[in-house]
Chain A
Amino acid sequence: MAAQTIDPIHQFQVHEYFSLPDMGGMSFAFTNSALFMLAAVFLITFTLVAGTARRALVPGRLQSVTELWYEFIEKMVHQVLGHEGMKFFPLVFSLFSFVLMANFLGMMPYFFTVTSHVIITATLAVMVILIVLAVGIYKHGLHFFKLFVPSGVPIFILPFISLIEVISFLSRPVSLGLRLFGNMLAGHIVLKVFSGFVALMVASGGIGYFGAIFPLGMAVALTALEFLVAFLQAFVFAILTCVYLNDALHPGH
């Protein structure tokens, strides 16, 4: 009984559970992606509500986690954006929590990884950049666009520099979205491929039975790495949001 060829992409398929009424000529459906997004939001809400329900002086386990979670982001926002930037704390905290929970849910076997779809990460990234633009223009008006015109540059090369600065600014949402998507997609595919090796080698029998220990070891090590990456990418997403917001608050470098 030879194992079927393992399809590492299969796990990223989106299934429709039931369709929703059409809106504006587009069809909407409740998919497994939507299910796991909802699950992430519910888990976050549940953890935070349950963790802050008792507000004991000596925190219990759940309360400790909640406090750690909160203070981690609070410290980061305060460090990058300063005191006046604390009004962006809810945004950064929500982004971090959502990405983190979606990544971690994706690490469970048979679960769907929401953040492995570029449409999700790109939407988050574009949202961040639009907020940065809106805040920058609201706070500084047209002075915000000085971001693209660095001072002290000779007039001859200024158009060039401005063009490069504009491209650099536009590349931010791309790098923000692509990095998260790429990391999650690549990690899950690699994990699947190595696990597939184990199944194939065991199925081939004989020496493969013992040889399968090597890809198994790789799969175990990669799982640990993927947990690290899942946390790290959520953190990077949050801290870069802060850095970009900092540009909006203080455009003159």
Chain B
Amino acid sequence: MHPSGPKRTKGTVGTPEEGRLDDRLRQLGQRIDSEIAELRGPAGKSSLNSEAAGSAYGKAARLASEFVAGILVGGFLGWALDQLLGTLPLGLIVFTLLGFAAGILNMARAGRQAQREAEKDRRG
């Protein structure tokens, strides 16, 4: 794109050369601003944000592993308790259920945190 002629604006002082440079700089700035606005999309959110897709994958992996880890830890604790006390099925059952609850709690916390971050992003 060519600059549309050497327009002199009132703010510029100095040689005509510098005025032209100023003008071109301003035009470039406007172009960059408009391009950025275009890229961001109407919602003010970046539409070609590969980071967003990446963090979505990250969030999904996080939620899944939080849930599984809760159950695993609960089950293991129950099993270890059973080995100590000799009450094999009981502790395993109860603690796996508790682990299930802990997994849900973990997921809820991770979700809430993700939501808070999203809100923070939206605000600024």
Contacts and interface: CB of A to CB of B under 8 A. Distances in A.
Interface of A: 160, 163-165, 167-168, 170-172, 174-175, 178-179, 182-183, 228-229, 231-233, 235-236, 240, 243
**Residue in A165, A170, A240 with the greatest tally of chain B CB atoms within 10 Å:** A170
Contacts of B87: none
Given A167-B99, A174-B69, A179 B61 contact: yes
A158 to B, nearest CB: 14
A188 to B, nearest CB: 16
Contacts of A168: 70, 102, 105-106
B40 interface: no
Interface residues of B, number: 24
A183 B62 CA distance: 11
A28 B71 CA distance: 34
24 contacts: A164-B102, A165-B102, A167-B70, A167-B74, A167-B95, A167-B99, A168-B70, A171-B69, A174-B69, A174-B73, A175-B65, A175-B66, A175-B70, A178-B65, A178-B68, A179-B62, A179-B65, A228-B57, A231-B54, A232-B58, A233-B58, A233-B61, A236-B58, A240-B62
B58 A167 contact: no
Contact of A229 (B57, B68, B72, B98): B57
B113 interface: yes
A178 B57 contact: no
A167 B57 contact: no
A167 B54 contact: no
B54 A171 contact: no
Given A164-B102, A167-B77, A167-B102, A172 B69 contact: yes
A205 to B, nearest CB: 38
**Residue in A167, A182, A228, A229 with the greatest tally of chain B CB atoms within 10 Å:** A167
Residues of B contacting A: mostly = helix
A232 B69 contact: no
Interface of B: 54-55, 57-58, 61-62, 65-66, 68-70, 72-74, 77, 95, 98-99, 101-103, 105-106, 113
A243 B110 CA distance: 10
A171 B72 CA distance: 8
A161 to B, nearest CB: 9
Contacts of A172: 69
A175 B58 contact: no
A175 B105 CA distance: 14
Given A163-B98, A175-B66, A175-B69, A170 B61 contact: no
